[in-house]
Amino acid sequence: MMPCMSDAVATYTTGQLRVLATEPPGSEAIQVYPNPAQDALRIVSTGQAIALIRLTDAGGKTVLTGPLQTEISVATLPAGTYLLTVYDRTGAVLSTKRVIKP
């Protein structure tokens, strides 16, 4: 089974089963909690150093961006589903996580 990597997306084919992975290798080292988050969201990296975070809404609009903080406030955001993208110093995506604001 050989992966085909392109922009943090890997497709594995095993017999008749095809699996799509949207996280780059090592992204499990990024933890985001609590999820769903009402007031604050915590971001922890047990692997590579995080340099930048970006939170986008379901429409693709960036609602928060900046250097890593271990806790970010989501209290003023409207309820919805967001994507939190985490970058390293070179600008490479370390992880993209779905975040829910109830």
| Residue given tokens 């003023």 in the structure block | 76
At the second CATH level, the architecture of 26-101 is: Sandwich (2.60)
The total number of residues written for the chain in this structure:
102
Q: What percent of the chain has pLDDT over 90?
A: 58
20 pLDDT above the threshold of 80: no
36 pLDDT above the threshold of 60: yes
Whether residue 98 contacts residue 81, with contact meaning beta carbons closer than 8 Å, is answered with yes
**pLDDT at res. 77:** 96
Structure tokens at 5: 């990597």
Q: Residue ranges of the domains in the chain? A: 26-101
- What average pLDDT does range 79-87 have in this prediction? 95
| Residue given tokens 């993209």 in the structure block | 96
Neighbours of 79 (CB within 10 A): 9
pTM, to two decimals: 0.72
Distances (CA, A) of 9 to 23, 64, 68: 7, 24, 24
**pLDDT at res. 28:** 65
101 pLDDT above the threshold of 70: yes
